[in-house]
Structure 1
């Protein structure tokens, strides 16, 4: 495990527009995550499936908002989205992965949308 993956969150802040979550870590890193990015990359079984062949591409989330955040033990948070999705458990390491590998995750999502004829808007 790299030093970055050992980072611990020191601040989790939802912006007033409910579309951006900022997470600051004790290693000095601070990352902004759009609600859409978090929603379409949710670690939930609904999105990720129980194996790679079950992974779903979730369209139409460009305007999704975060309605709430609840702690899960001392290792994660559960994010409640305004489309009623709230089953993903976002660990601190997963937040770091989403920040460090954004091109892979977001680029893959956009590619999947295109291949399936889906849109961020619908």
Structure 2
């Protein structure tokens, strides 16, 4: 869990846009990001996405249509979304949201690269991706 540093800007507004599937976050440094739900879901900081060490990440697929059903505050430092696919264990700290928002171009590229490496499409059902990541090569 990334801790908060005094340099981390605080969110001044957080808006869930169900229609466009983005989380809009305005920060105290004047920056505002529109973070797609799919990106949040794919890069969820929870153990079942990140795994328990480097290289243990579970590749998430089929999340393009995912919605954020609820967004619960966690203390004064994070939010915990519940996604429409039932995933709810990711706690998104302010600095993590800032990271997702500010690096999303690069994060999408990394995601695309991982999909290619695994030989699965972005919209593949999760079980296909799980099978692919177990090293079954056709």
Q: Structure 1 length normalisation: TM-score?
A: 0.92
Cα RMSD (Å) of the superposition? 1.7
| Structure with max Cα Rg | 2
Point out where structure 1 has 5 or more consecutive residues left out of the alignment.
none
Give, in angstroms, the shift of residue 103 of structure 1: 2.9
Contact 1:18–1:65 at 8 Å: present in 2 too?
Answer: no
Paired residue total: 121
Query: Cα distance 1:23–1:103, how it changes in 2: closer, same or farther (>3 A)?
Result: same
Residue number in structure 1 paired with 2:72: 70
Q: Secondary structure at the match of 1:54?
A: coil
After the TM superposition, which residues 19-38 of structure 1 pair with which residues of structure 2 at under 5 Å, given as runs?
A: 19-38=21-40
Q: Secondary structure at the match of 2:115?
A: helix
Give, in angstroms, the shift of residue 115 of structure 1: 1.1
Residue number in structure 1 paired with 2:92: 90
Residue number in structure 1 paired with 2:105: 103
Note the alpha carbon deviations across 1:54-110, whole angstroms, 9 max, x for none.
Answer: 111111111111101000010000011000001000000001111222233211111
Q: Choose which of 109, 112, 115 in structure 2 pairs with 1:113.
A: 115
Aligned partners of 1:37, 1:108: CA distance in 2, in Å? 11
After the TM superposition, which residues 34-73 of structure 1 pair with which residues of structure 2 at under 5 Å, given as runs?
A: 34-73=36-75
Q: Which runs of 4+ in 1 moved over 4 A?
A: none
